[in-house]
Structure 1
Amino acid sequence: MTNCPQTDGIVPARLDADLLAANFSDLYPCFDDHEARVAADRCYFCYDAPCITACPTAIDIPLFIRQIQAGQPEAAARTIFEQNIMGAMCARVCPTETLCEGACVRETAEGQPVEIGRLQRYATDILLERNDHPFTRAAPTGKRVAVVGAGPAGLACAHRLALKGHEVVIYDARPKPGGLNEYGIAAYKAAGGIAQAEVDWLLGIGGIRVETGKALGRDLTLEGLRGEHDAVFLGMGLAGVNALRAPGEDKEGVQDAVDFIAGLRQTTDLSALPIGRHVVVIGGGMTAVDAAVQSRLLGAEQVTMVYRRDRGAMGASDYELDHAQTEGVKIVTNAMPLAVLGDKKVEEVEFAYTRNGPLGLEPTGETFRLRADQLFKAIGQRLEGAAEALTLEGGKIAIDVQGRTSLLGVWAGGDCASGGEDLTVTATAQGRDAAEDIHASIMA
């Protein structure tokens, strides 16, 4: 990296303001009208389109691409939003290379799929920029539903319920709605305030009130919500962060990656963010990738991601891992943390190489150390504050295919619920589908 002052430790302003602005600009600028029409012309408009099957929200992809081809992006946006009301953010953050584009016939035949994600962004951004909401709310039903969590699952559920005429109150622990899209996605994937713009646009349906700063278990009880509403949907995500379980993880310079990303997303001055010269990120999922890449973009000279298993077991897609390496992130696999070393602050991290043994993952006996003045933990999150009277499965709220929990009148979806893939698009689908079941239940 250039323009780095010769200072060790964690300091702000490793890069100048112009370079920071360039580093955190939009990763993929939107298509213009001509580019969109050219990209749409590549679609075969398959009758049994595998891209639809691969989409968790089952968007009619050939239809919306044909509408773009015909010069009707507004109609294309409506087609998308009918199935996925979070379509603008999903166009930016979905792992399309493993979902719709991975299933594209062009990908199978040529290794170059139709750019479905960018076409989706082109169409949805048009309606958001015009603040044009294509749906009309049904007549009021007199029913009232509580939604806990203003992330993708909660927002999708709330919108679908409001569309059907119900009154919805969304409660969220954070100061702003948006959930993972607002606090947990790399800034260069959500440039220009798109996450909040999408929330504001979505709330344009009417009938939804958002109350921030209210957490389940702290300010709200499930019993109280059930008593005051006709139904409750839980979509608050996973607030707790797993421990590293290595001596020294409480030293100065050790931080949860989710907190680092959230702080970066909410800052108004990137140059004020302190970053180390030698950064180590422990984990193999999208949070680890986002923390590692953004550390480089802030000016860290050496960034290393370390994961205990092999690359094939990492939660991040090959596309994201390749992007991280392109940005200069080193990826070390089959290594587990043993200790965080240093006096009061982290100076090194000791690891053991691992292998698959008869009883599972085990250390080989070989160890190594990485220099680090900053260590980010990205080793998964856990459910907090929502387990009263609910059955859990794998540490998450157990739900059936309709999103119903073990407690009558309570549904759940998104990262806090079992069966999901920890993706924005999956959470959106679960919230939408739960809303349909809630509607059928409270109107029966």
Structure 2
Amino acid sequence: MAITNFRLTTDEYTENFSDIHPPFENLTAALVEANRCIFCYDAPCIKSCPTSINVPKFIKQIATENIKGSAHTIFDSNIMGGGCSKVCPVEKLCEGSCVYNLMEEEPIQIARLQRYSTEKAIREKWPLFTRKPSNGKKVAVVGAGPAGLSCAHVLSRQGVDVTIYEKEAKGGGLMTYGIAAYKVTPEFCEDEVNYVLSLGGIEINYNQELGKNITLPELQSQYDAVYIGIGVGLARQLEIPGEHLEGVEDAISFIYDIRSKPFNQVKVGENVAVIGMGMTAIDAATQAKRLGAKQVTMVYRRTEAEMPCTQVELDIAKLDGCNIIWLAAPKEVLGVDGKATALVCSKMILGEPDASGRRSPIETGETIVLEVDMIIKAAGQMPFESLVSGLSLENKYGKITTDAHGVTSLNGVFAGGDCVNGGREVVDAVQAGKDGAAGILEFLSV
């Protein structure tokens, strides 16, 4: 069958893309879980959170029914704490470090407790922060993703007037356009962005792209400082024959369509191959299945032991019925009349570890052929190298070079998030925004 849409009924789409991590139904359920916490001294869950949320404190506040105080504790460290409670890989962060794991018991459901407080705060529009009077300083932030929004919120709380320039029609960045719809809805992302803006002193100019509608020199001349949080977003190419046949697309574009269109307008193949095993690959594979693909096969050139995604994410793909082929690397895409019909993969073995310590895959000379009508490339994302190079910023293959406070090689220009680190978790971007704001406040002597 050809790549098409309208595969499922409205009810089926609704069921397939419903919340994969349901919230606590009521306060009683949240209280029961909160009271399991033993409120560790020098808690490991705090140390494992990139934004250092005081987890025992906010859980204790829930346990004492101080939900507003709990939300304040979370947002004070992570203004995107609502979204992070839905999308963070908590199994390798806060919940993964919970001491209950050492006792072979289920860890505290930190994410669900965090979600309980933050969702209530966002839904009821609690004004938890007061902005200092405007001090006359103006800062431009490029990118309304987690890093940019976090930076803007910290600056505005200190009385700095912030203008954000965002290339898309909505804010939220990766949260809005790049994460599986069953984890966080675009509607929630919009509510979260509006909650950040409710502090005041922050204005977003949408459909304004750096290097196209605005330039860095213009921003430098109009503002006291500039923060760049443009993320990454260029799909890594496979560099194999047939890669540009119809039916071959990158995961970024595929997920973007799911996030920005009704589900019944997103086209998906009958037999889909997904190349890669990171979080984006998992999101692409599971959503292809939930859009109605008959068969989805994930192809990864290493073994399960080397996969970049977490076991929890892999289990989601398995439960959705995705097939997995380990030790297989894409070699060629075959096609008929300009359309992809098969993916040829080289069988691999693992050799000696590479520079990162991971064992390098080596071709065996054998191949396998998968009959497909759609191939989704999720082999990683690359920085906007040509754009960054044109900004005269010191960089390494497109990743902007900064110090710990986001200071770049240009005076008064700061950067953070994926455009600096190459791509990490949402919570890392939030912390980068905080670090950048601290550097800007010092630079402005505020």
Place the TM-score, normalised by the shorter chain, in its bin.
over 0.9
List runs of 5+ in structure 1 lacking aligned partners.
Answer: 1-7
- Distance in 2 (alpha carbons) for counterparts of 1:304 and 1:398: 38
Shift of residue 110 of structure 1? Answer: 2.0
- Specify the alignment match of 1:196 in structure 2: 190
Give the 3-state SS of the residue equivalent to 2:31 in structure 1.
helix
Shift of residue 172 of structure 1? Answer: 1.2
- Specify the alignment match of 1:302 in structure 2: 295
- Specify the alignment match of 2:426 in structure 1: 424
Query: Does residue 341 of structure 1 match 2:340?
Result: no
- Specify the alignment match of 1:3 in structure 2: none
- The answer to which of 145-154 and 214-223 deviates more is 214-223
- Specify the alignment match of 2:395 in structure 1: 392
- Distance in 2 (alpha carbons) for counterparts of 1:264 and 1:139: 41
Amino acid at match of 2:169: P
- Specify the alignment match of 1:127 in structure 2: 121
- Distance in 2 (alpha carbons) for counterparts of 1:211 and 1:342: 43
Give the 3-state SS of the residue equivalent to 1:126 in structure 2.
helix
Change (3 A) 1:243 1:192: closer
The superposition leaves residues 185-229 of structure 1 with CA deviations (integer Å, 9 ceiling, x where unpaired) of: 100111371111100111001111111111112222222211211
- Distance in 2 (alpha carbons) for counterparts of 1:357 and 1:283: 19
Shift of residue 100 of structure 1? Answer: 0.2
- Distance in 2 (alpha carbons) for counterparts of 1:407 and 1:76: 39
TM-score norm. by structure 2 comes to 0.95
The superposition leaves residues 110-129 of structure 1 with CA deviations (integer Å, 9 ceiling, x where unpaired) of: 24100000000000011111
| Aligned partner (choices 274, 290, 296) of residue 281 of structure 1 | 274
Give the 3-state SS of the residue equivalent to 1:74 in structure 2.
helix
Query: Does residue 30 of structure 1 match 2:23?
Result: yes
Query: Does residue 403 of structure 1 match 2:403?
Result: no
- Distance in 2 (alpha carbons) for counterparts of 1:111 and 1:393: 44
Query: Does residue 313 of structure 1 match 2:315?
Result: no
Amino acid at match of 2:280: T
Asked whether the equivalents of residues 257 and 376 of structure 1 are also in contact (C-alpha less than 8 Å), the reply is yes
- Distance in 1 (alpha carbons) for counterparts of 2:302 and 2:155: 42
Give the 3-state SS of the residue equivalent to 1:252 in structure 2.
coil
Asked whether the equivalents of residues 24 and 191 of structure 1 are also in contact (C-alpha less than 8 Å), the reply is no
Give the 3-state SS of the residue equivalent to 1:279 in structure 2.
strand
Shift of residue 107 of structure 1? Answer: 1.6
- The answer to which of 389-398 and 142-151 deviates more is 389-398
Give the 3-state SS of the residue equivalent to 1:218 in structure 2.
coil
Structure 1 stretches of at least 4 aligned residues deviating more than 6 Å after TM superposition: none
- Distance in 2 (alpha carbons) for counterparts of 1:381 and 1:249: 16
Asked whether the equivalents of residues 133 and 205 of structure 1 are also in contact (C-alpha less than 8 Å), the reply is yes
The superposition leaves residues 311-363 of structure 1 with CA deviations (integer Å, 9 ceiling, x where unpaired) of: 23322111101111111111222211111111211110000012233584321
- The answer to which of 432-441 and 114-123 deviates more is 432-441
Amino acid at match of 1:371: E
Alignment coverage as a number of residue pairs: 435
Shift of residue 27 of structure 1? Answer: 1.2
Asked whether the equivalents of residues 279 and 309 of structure 2 are also in contact (C-alpha less than 8 Å), the reply is yes
Query: Does residue 366 of structure 1 match 2:366?
Result: yes
- Specify the alignment match of 1:272 in structure 2: 265
Give the 3-state SS of the residue equivalent to 1:376 in structure 2.
strand
- Specify the alignment match of 2:199 in structure 1: 205
Shift of residue 393 of structure 1? Answer: 2.8
Q: Mapping of 1:107-122 within 5 angstroms?
A: 107-122=101-116
Give the 3-state SS of the residue equivalent to 1:68 in structure 2.
helix
- Distance in 2 (alpha carbons) for counterparts of 1:320 and 1:108: 22
- Distance in 1 (alpha carbons) for counterparts of 2:295 and 2:304: 20
Amino acid at match of 2:137: K
Q: Mapping of 1:196-235 within 5 angstroms?
A: 196-235=190-229
- Distance in 1 (alpha carbons) for counterparts of 2:429 and 2:264: 33
- Distance in 2 (alpha carbons) for counterparts of 1:40 and 1:107: 16
- Specify the alignment match of 1:327 in structure 2: 320
Shift of residue 261 of structure 1? Answer: 0.6
> Over the residues paired in the alignment, what is the CA RMSD in angstroms?
1.4
- The answer to which of 307-316 and 426-435 deviates more is 307-316
Asked whether the equivalents of residues 136 and 163 of structure 1 are also in contact (C-alpha less than 8 Å), the reply is yes
Asked whether the equivalents of residues 217 and 386 of structure 1 are also in contact (C-alpha less than 8 Å), the reply is no
- Distance in 1 (alpha carbons) for counterparts of 2:311 and 2:143: 30
- Distance in 1 (alpha carbons) for counterparts of 2:291 and 2:35: 39
- Specify the alignment match of 1:5 in structure 2: none
Q: Percent identity?
A: 45
- The answer to which of 362-371 and 189-198 deviates more is 189-198
Q: Mapping of 1:177-196 within 5 angstroms?
A: 177-191=171-185, 193-196=187-190
- Specify the alignment match of 1:39 in structure 2: 33
- Distance in 2 (alpha carbons) for counterparts of 1:286 and 1:197: 24
Asked whether the equivalents of residues 107 and 114 of structure 1 are also in contact (C-alpha less than 8 Å), the reply is no
Shift of residue 9 of structure 1? Answer: 1.5
- Distance in 2 (alpha carbons) for counterparts of 1:195 and 1:331: 31
- Specify the alignment match of 1:290 in structure 2: 283
Asked whether the equivalents of residues 153 and 413 of structure 1 are also in contact (C-alpha less than 8 Å), the reply is yes
- Distance in 2 (alpha carbons) for counterparts of 1:159 and 1:273: 35
- Distance in 1 (alpha carbons) for counterparts of 2:50 and 2:125: 26
